[in-house]
């Protein structure tokens, strides 16, 4: 935490995940598992299902609704408690879109053009990408700053967007001569901050990757998990004696990191245990470990998904609580900017 954040802003955690497809292992290890740890540490935690981000690329409406409820079920099944954390979907709190617009007028085109996620996701034909996809990071800044969040647990791929959030807060504070928005800290920790694709050690695992074999989904059954790890691309060398030996072996390093994060061990300790062993031994051990950790979550998700009305009730309750925090911050922002907002005051 910066000194400024320490003195002025109460520690508050915010993070979100897009309801696109099923949650994958990277989302679980890099984000959700760490959301749970932060909740359990006693700090105030707000976790969002960012459906407005999801629609920056085409989503079938029925699939989107289903993915939103499924992500809520994944959060809860992974250990997020709707009483201790605020859990809700973004579109139910209008302040995200409202502050997002204000930040569109603070952020600069040049900043957005440098975002690697924009370049990756827009691909070669950026002319055909939605305007929303380009503005995505400024909406993300709004998600975070609408709650004056001081800490944002995310995977490594989101670091640049949190840095942009800081730039937006600094520019807003500077332009309007206020100290209103905190300069938020990204929290990127643990062995699995960047889980790589099982098919390509140079690409991160993603829930929207067209290849299902590239990732482990939280909903995969035990046979599928075992098969995906068995087929994961690796070299043919045994595991080395030290971590240093994994330096130029990204696929092997990825599997060791996944094992470490699932077992809550350091990668060094995993190497200590499996040094000299081939993938014929390591991959099945990893699959067994993954199934033992993930199958209780998948079972609980199934149980929760049988009652969608209860999930909607939890999201509605969370949205009300989120809105109660957001509303005074938004009202003050309107006031700072010079926008009259008498209808709600």
Active-site residue, selected from the candidate residues 33, 207, 228, 283? 207
How many C-beta atoms surround the C-beta of residue 223 within 10 A? 10
Return the number of the residue (138 or 158) whose C-beta is nearest ligand ATP: 158
Return the number of the residue (265 or 331) whose C-beta is nearest ligand ATP: 265
Contacts of 177 (CB under 8 A, 6+ apart): none
Q: Catalytic site residue 204?
A: yes
Question: What is the CA 177 to chain-centroid distance, rounded?
Answer: 32
State the nearest-atom distance from the C-beta of 28 to ligand ATP, in Å. 8
Active-site residue, selected from the candidate residues 33, 119, 203, 204? 204
Return the residue matching tokens 């350091």: 266
State the nearest-atom distance from the C-beta of 52 to ligand ATP, in Å. 12
Active-site residue, selected from the candidate residues 8, 83, 119, 121? 121
CA-CA-CA-CA torsion sign (250, 256, 257, 262): positive
Return the number of the residue (184 or 193) whose C-beta is nearest ligand ATP: 193
| HSE-CB of 115 using CA atoms within 13 angstroms | 28
Contacts of 43 (CB under 8 A, 6+ apart): 11, 12, 13, 151
State the nearest-atom distance from the C-beta of 217 to ligand ATP, in Å. 10
Return the number of the residue (161 or 330) whose C-beta is nearest ligand ATP: 161
Return the number of the residue (150 or 206) whose C-beta is nearest ligand ATP: 206
| DSSP character at residue 306 | T
State the nearest-atom distance from the C-beta of 340 to ligand ATP, in Å. 36
- Rounded to whole angstroms, the Cα distance separating 127 from 123 reads 10
| DSSP character at residue 30 | I
How many C-beta atoms surround the C-beta of residue 238 within 10 A? 17
State the nearest-atom distance from the C-beta of 133 to ligand ATP, in Å. 11
Q: Catalytic site residue 121?
A: yes
Structure tokens at 214: 């590239």
Helix (H) or strand (E) holding 319: helix 308-337
Which residues bind to ligand ATP, rule: CB under 6 A? 17-18, 20, 24, 26-27, 30-31, 154-155, 157-158, 192-195, 204-208
Active site residues: 121, 204, 207
């Amino acid at each position: 935490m910066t000194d400024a954040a320490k003195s002025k802003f109460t520690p508050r955690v915010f993070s979100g995940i897009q309801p696109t497809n099923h949650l994958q292992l990277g989302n679980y290890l890099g984000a959700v598992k760490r959301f749970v740890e932060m909740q359990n540490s006693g700090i105030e935690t707000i976790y969002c299902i960012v459906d407005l981000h999801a629609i920056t690329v085409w989503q079938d409406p029925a699939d989107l609704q289903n993915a939103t409820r499924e992500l809520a079920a994944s959060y809860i099944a992974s250990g997020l408690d709707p009483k201790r954390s605020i859990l809700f979907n973004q579109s139910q709190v209008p302040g995200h879109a409202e502050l997002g617009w204000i930040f569109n007028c603070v952020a600069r085109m040049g900043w957005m053009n440098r975002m690697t996620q924009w370049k990756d996701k827009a691909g070669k034909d950026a002319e055909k990408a939605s305007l929303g996809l380009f503005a995505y990071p400024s909406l993300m800044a709004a998600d975070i700053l609408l709650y004056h969040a001081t800490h944002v647990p995310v995977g490594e791929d989101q670091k640049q967007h949190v840095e942009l959030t800081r730039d937006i807060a600094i520019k807003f504070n500077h332009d309007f001569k206020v100290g209103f928005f905190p300069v938020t800290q990204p929290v990127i920790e643990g062995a699995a901050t960047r889980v790589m694709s099982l098919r390509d050690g140079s690409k991160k695992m993603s829930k929207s990757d067209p290849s299902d074999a590239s990732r482990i989904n939280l909903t995969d059954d035990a046979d599928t998990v075992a098969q995906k790890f068995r087929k994961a691309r690796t070299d043919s060398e045994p595991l080395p004696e030290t971590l240093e030996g994994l330096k130029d072996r990204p696929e092997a390093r990825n599997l060791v990191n996944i094992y470490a994060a699932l077992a809550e061990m350091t990668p060094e300790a995993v190497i200590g245990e499996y040094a000299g062993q081939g993938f014929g031994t390591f991959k099945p051990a990893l699959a067994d470990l993954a199934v033992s950790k993930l199958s209780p979550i998948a079972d609980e998700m199934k149980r929760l998904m049988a009652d969608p009305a209860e999930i909607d009730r939890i999201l509605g309750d969370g949205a009300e609580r989120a809105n109660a925090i957001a509303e005074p911050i938004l009202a003050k922002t309107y006031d700072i900017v010079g926008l009259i907002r008498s209808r709600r005051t």
